Amino acid sequence: MINLLIGLASGLFGGLVGLGGGVIMIPLMVGILKMSQHMAGGTSLVALVFTGISGAFTYSLNGSVDLLASLLLASTAIFTARAGARYANALPEWKLKKFFGGFIILTSLLLLLKPYLYHVDEPATGWLKVAFLLLTGVLTGFLSGMMGVGGGTIMVPSMVLLTGFTQYAAQGSSLLAMVPVGIVGAYTHWRLENVNTGILPGLIPGIMLGTYLGGSLAHFMPEGVLRIVFATVLIWTGVKYLKTPKPLPGKESIIVEKEVI
């Protein structure tokens, strides 16, 4: 039931604001389920595959998915997602938590700025638009694999500001792009033994239901108050992560030995 509720909360948040929900899911798994940051990130990516499927389907029902844009984003992101997952695995947990804290705060600031993101006067078109989408995929793929998130934090603002997508089309297209990217990142983390398969039977149904509800509500309700509440919680969580202390000399090696055992 706890796993189901974690998935439901993460999916609802992700579907509502067009993100994968990993920024909510990972802190909950670390704080409530006492998982390591590496394990939470890898497990999150598995669940985010289903977030992308459910969310993209919901947005497509409202005509808010651009298939070509999703394919362009994913075509480069699937390669950098693997590199990001391997980079995260090489980091000590305290350092990965600090990186994740900074990423959460960046996500929060982008959420608060969301109402003020308008199209540029002359959005990129043709090959320039293709280039922007491919480069966005490179960055978001690496962050997705490293942090265990979907990458919508970067994809959505980039698509709205630089290529002229509406907010809903950017959110729907980013959710679809998360599917292949999440598969590659999750598989890499699974090979590195950073996936807890035991919680997936509860997590996945919750996140799919939550994403469907969030994606549906996004088209019918104002999200201003919810966005501020979410951003406040995320900033508080991010600050806590940034305060993660570096282990004393010798203590980190003992922790690593225990994890290996």
Report CA 173 to chain centroid distance, whole Å.
14
Assess contact for 248 and 129: CB atoms under 8 A.
no
- C-alpha span between 236 and 147 (Å, rounded): 18
85-104 pLDDT per residue, tens: 898 888 888 888 888 888 87
- Mean pLDDT of the 110-126 span: 66
Per-residue pLDDT tens digits for 180-222: 988 998 889 898 888 888 888 888 888 888 877 876 776 666 6
Question: Is the pLDDT confidence value at 238 over 60?
Answer: yes
Q: In which residue are the tokens 């977030």 written?
A: 51
What is the pTM assigned to this prediction?
Answer: 0.74
Q: Supply the range of the domain harboring residue 144.
A: 2-260
As a whole number of angstroms, the distance between CA 44 and CA 26 comes to 7
The tokens describing 244, both together, are 């993660």
Whether residue 20 contacts residue 181, with contact meaning beta carbons closer than 8 Å, is answered with no
151 φ, ψ to 5°? Answer: 95, 0
Count: domains in the chain: 1
Burial class (CB in 10 A: 0-12, 13-18, 19+), 213: middle
Average pLDDT, rounded, for the chain: 79
Pick 252 or 156 by higher pLDDT. Answer: 156
Q: Is the pLDDT of residue 170 over 90?
A: no
Res 259 pLDDT > 60: no
- Band (pLDDT 50/70/90 cuts) for residue 18 is low
The residue among 261 and 169 whose pLDDT is bigger is 169
pLDDT category of residue 118 using cuts at 50, 70 and 90: low
Q: Pick the residue with more confidence: 68 or 175?
A: 68
